[in-house]
């Protein structure tokens, strides 16, 4: 039987911000069976392991992540990256886009992440990845990243769920005419209509593959404690699942990353567990939706049952 190939990459890159704990995200997410529950007779999982930060050259980790994403994008039908702070998208999206020049990016986040070193109030790199990918500043001024060059055009990006923008970010989003909707706007218009507006603008032919770059802080602050910068008025978990499914009904999604999960911030009473389980469920949902497309069936029984973990081991590469 023809198998559908999924590449899984863990990211422990947390140097884009100042709180400790993101480096453990891949370990904690794996402990909730994020990877092994995906194994199924219809899916071959290629587990690329975790990218960690080396003390010798902290910026080398971004290049390593970008190379793994590029390799996975070449070899697998789908690539899933879990953990990391959002600055790791400098590596992940660079690699994915190099392999797949038509790729479009939906940035699902409470924040714009489109500051430059000049406009950023905090100076944290996880507030700048979109600006770096769009070429709004020279990344080599921040760290040694000679391998990097901007890969995104303004027409490649939309921001969704954004509701906490710095003044410099508002200006640049306006100047570049980036589609940008907060959660309440999406609710007002309706998810399907909001997506029609955005997707028709980004990809009028409907032929481009999409990458979902999901910051867990797109969720309502009351729903997620295990993240550094929670913001109110976000998506509820079931809404985010519906939203992602709507996206997949309209366009083909070839990769996803879920970032900014910090278990250290919710150790008390193991409050990190529900959000880790939610992230694992979200990966399963997105992968099941794309598998359904691959198998060309709408019958959910033909897609694997997430409640029955398979005994089959992950295929290591």
> Which residues are at the interface with Mn ion (CB under 5 A)?
86, 109, 113, 215
Closest CA to 114 of 193, 231, 36, 215: 215
Cβ 111 to Mn ion shortest distance, Å: 5
Cβ 86 to Mn ion shortest distance, Å: 3
Cβ 46 to Mn ion shortest distance, Å: 26
Helix (H) / strand (E) containing 192: helix 191-202
Residues 6+ apart with CB under 8 A from 7: 46, 48, 71, 72, 73, 75, 76, 78, 79, 80
- The nearer residue to Mn ion, 114 or 286, going by C-beta atoms, is 114
Measured from the Cβ of residue 249, the count of other Cβ atoms closer than 10 Å reads: 11
Q: Which residues pair with 5 in a beta bridge?
A: 44
Give CA–CA dist 253/210, Å, rounded.
Answer: 5
- The nearer residue to Mn ion, 37 or 88, going by C-beta atoms, is 88
Cβ 256 to Mn ion shortest distance, Å: 14
Give CA–CA dist 133/69, Å, rounded.
Answer: 15
Residues 6+ apart with CB under 8 A from 289: 244, 245, 248, 253
Cβ 218 to Mn ion shortest distance, Å: 8
Cβ 112 to Mn ion shortest distance, Å: 8
- The nearer residue to Mn ion, 38 or 216, going by C-beta atoms, is 216
Q: Which residues pair with 4 in a beta bridge?
A: 43
Q: Tokens representing 123?
A: 């100076």
Cα separation values, 243 from 111, 164, 219, 238, Å:
18, 20, 12, 9
Under 8 Å between Cβ of 155 and 193: no
Cβ 270 to Mn ion shortest distance, Å: 25
- The nearer residue to Mn ion, 89 or 248, going by C-beta atoms, is 89
Closest CA to 196 of 237, 158, 170, 165: 158
Mapped onto helix, strand or coil, the DSSP state of residue 51 is: strand
- The nearer residue to Mn ion, 8 or 218, going by C-beta atoms, is 218
- The nearer residue to Mn ion, 80 or 218, going by C-beta atoms, is 218
- The nearer residue to Mn ion, 17 or 76, going by C-beta atoms, is 17
176: exposed, middle or buried (Cβ count in 10 Å: 0-12, 13-18, 19+) = middle
- The nearer residue to Mn ion, 71 or 104, going by C-beta atoms, is 104
- The nearer residue to Mn ion, 215 or 290, going by C-beta atoms, is 215
Cβ 173 to Mn ion shortest distance, Å: 14
């Amino acid at each position: 039987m023809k198998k559908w190939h999924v590449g899984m990459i863990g990211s422990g890159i947390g140097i884009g911000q100042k709180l400790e704990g993101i480096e453990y995200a891949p370990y904690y997410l794996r402990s909730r069976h994020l990877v092994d529950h995906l194994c199924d007779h219809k899916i071959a999982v290629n587990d690329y392991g975790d990218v960690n930060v080396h003390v010798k050259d902290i910026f080398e980790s971004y290049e390593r992540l970008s190379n793994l994403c590029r390799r996975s994008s070449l070899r697998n039908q789908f690539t899933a990256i879990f953990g990391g702070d959002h600055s790791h998208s400098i590596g992940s999206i660079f690699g994915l886009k190099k392999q797949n020049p038509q790729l479009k990016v939906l940035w699902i986040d409470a924040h714009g992440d489109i500051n430059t070193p000049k406009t950023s109030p905090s100076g944290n790199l996880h507030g700048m990845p979109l600006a770096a990918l769009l070429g709004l500043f020279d990344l080599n001024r921040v760290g040694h990243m000679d391998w990097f060059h901007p890969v995104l055009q303004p027409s490649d990006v939309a921001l969704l769920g954004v509701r906490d923008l710095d003044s410099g970010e508002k200006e640049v989003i306006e100047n570049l005419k980036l589609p940008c909707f907060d959660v309440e706007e999406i609710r007002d218009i309706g998810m399907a209509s909001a997506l029609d507006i955005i997707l028709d603008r980004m990809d009028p032919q409907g032929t481009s593959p999409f990458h979902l770059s999901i910051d867990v802080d797109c969720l309502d602050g009351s729903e997620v404690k295990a993240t550094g910068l929670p913001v109110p008025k976000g998506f509820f978990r079931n809404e985010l699942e519906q939203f992602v499914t709507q996206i997949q009904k309209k366009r083909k999604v070839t990769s996803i990353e879920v970032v900014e999960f910090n278990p250290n911030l919710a150790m008390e009473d193991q409050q990190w567990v529900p959000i880790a389980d939610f992230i694992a469920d979200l990966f399963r949902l997105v992968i099941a939706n794309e598998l359904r497309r691959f198998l060309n069936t709408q019958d959910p029984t033909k897609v694997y049952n997430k409640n029955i973990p398979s005994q089959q081991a992950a295929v290591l590469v």
